[in-house]
Amino acid sequence: MKSRILVTVIVLCVVAPGMSSANELGLGFKIGEPTGVGAKIWKSPGNSVNLALAYSTGANDQVTLLGDYVFYKYNLFNPEHENIEIPLYYGIGVMVRMGEKGDVGARIPVGVDFLFADPAFDISFEVAPTLYVIPETDFGVYGGLGIYYTF
């Protein structure tokens, strides 16, 4: 019971600051480890809250929750086409794997995002080193491809 309360508090501390005054919402999916559905809640062009409900097919098949607060760095790549921007991004977040052996970890997602203006969608490639702290200390690296349509 105490671990569930702790998990809830950790997720709220990471995700709640980004939930107010969202400008746009992107919905889509992530393919990789883990694979599932996701949402990007854009706070501004410079940051977003990224959430996912996914399934991890590692050593222990588990339902996984991801919550990240992400910052975007523009103008590193200057594409020839005016319909696309390609920022790098980085952030901090949590990963909660639920199942027989549930655990909680801190993630540091780093990636590149291809933002298309018309239609409004994005494709991202990400790597996320994760340090597990509950129930024991462990380390993992996750990542994959994300595709989101922005409303």
List the CATH number of the domain containing 23.
2.40.160.20
Q: Judge if the upstream peptide bond of residue 109 is cis by omega within 30 degrees of 0.
A: no
Mean pLDDT for the chain?
Answer: 85
Residue with tokens 């809830």: 8
**How confident is residue 58, by pLDDT bands cut at 50, 70 and 90?**
low
Per residue in 116-150, pLDDT (tens digit) is 988 899 999 999 999 999 988 999 999 999 999 99
Does residue 109 have a pLDDT over 50? yes
At 37, the amino acid letter reads: V
Average the pLDDT over 47-71 and give the result: 89
Amino acid at position 138, single letter:
D
**pLDDT tens-digit profile of 88-98?**
999 999 999 88
The structure's pTM equals: 0.81
| Domain interval for residue 81 | 2-150
- What is d(CA 127, CA 112) in angstroms, rounded to the nearest whole number? 10
Please count the structural domains in the chain. Answer: 1
